[in-house]
A = this chain, B = another copy of it.
């Protein structure tokens, strides 16, 4: 075991999460999951268990830790559909942490979230708590994306290898060197499918100044605030959709009933299409949303209106609860909310990796929200 080293932050700056924070985070991370990233509920159960066992879940702002502190990003890898059926045993993440410390022969100072959207918001918290480390209040996506190379950390030049992957069985794999971020993703994905579909993967540590510069800021604070807004609105019998839109520059772009739904698994990804018939202010209009684990493209009356990397969120029109792609049902009444993504996802480098072309839509040019209605190619 590595020697504990001097704390690189002031413990007074730590925010200890409560049970209520986790309830709010579950909803907020679901909203930021834009349909993908897996359901945060099971991750919340593991976080609650850790809390019950006496571990504290603490978050820390990225500017409240010394610039040279060593930060390890971590997340679950595997198809979201699998995580519904197979619960993580809970110690995969801390096994990754210890294996990484042994590999680089240096202790880690803080844990970073790869992806705030969906279940990957919860699992790093458990790793941090069990490892006795703070969780930095940021992430690498500001939402959910289906592949590992789609983090801002990778996009802006951090090499994610050597990485460590641990599954619930006890298997440990180190990706020492990959010739590119995409190769790393490809090898890890193949391996996780062989492992039965779910594992935790910790990427090569970064210094805190890099995380501060290239992480999407305040992800946990924002996700918790989003969830609190929904909970508060429901208690006050106010419109939860309006409460969500008020916080993150979101806009309600559709109210519709699901009239058609296609979903299948292709290469480990959930791919499909949801068709909507409008009601209320949107009566007489149709819309459809293309799915690739997440909601990718929103079309109104056949015209592309919102695309990845901006966030397309489907919420239950009455409760404001986020709907993940695997929970979509024929006849469901949903509100579609569009939320502008962070500027770090809108640069030329970022759009190469997370723009419409990267998902197989080379004919669609990303036009940042709020966007004019454009003709579909």
Query: In this assembly, does A88 line the interface, its C-beta being within 8 Å of a C-beta of chain B?
Result: no
Q: Do residues A189 and B179 form an inter-chain contact, with CB atoms below 8 A?
A: no
Q: Which of A109-154 contact B (CB under 8 A)?
A: none
Q: Do residues B177 and A172 form an inter-chain contact, with CB atoms below 8 A?
A: yes
> What is the interface size of chain A, counting residues whose CB is below 8 A from a CB of the partner?
22
A187 contacts which of B173, B183, B186 (Cβ < 8 Å)? B173
CA distance A193 to B191 in the complex (A): 10
Q: Do residues B187 and A177 form an inter-chain contact, with CB atoms below 8 A?
A: no
Using A187-B191, A191-B187, A191-B191 as known contacts, say yes or no to A170 and B174 having CB atoms under 8 A apart: no
Per assembly, the copies of the chain total: 2
Query: In this assembly, does A42 line the interface, its C-beta being within 8 Å of a C-beta of chain B?
Result: no
Across-interface contacts of A174 in B (CB, < 8 A): 173-176
Across-interface contacts of A193 in B (CB, < 8 A): 190
Closest to A176 in B: B172
Using A190-B191, A190-B194, A191-B187 as known contacts, say yes or no to A173 and B170 having CB atoms under 8 A apart: no
Across-interface contacts of A304 in B (CB, < 8 A): none
1/0 per residue, CB under 8 A from B, across A41-72: the answer is 00000000000000000000000000000000
Enumerate 15 A-B pairs (CB-CB under 8 Å) in ascending A order.
A99-B176, A170-B177, A171-B183, A172-B177, A173-B173, A173-B174, A173-B175, A174-B175, A174-B176, A187-B191, A187-B194, A187-B195, A190-B191, A190-B193, A190-B194
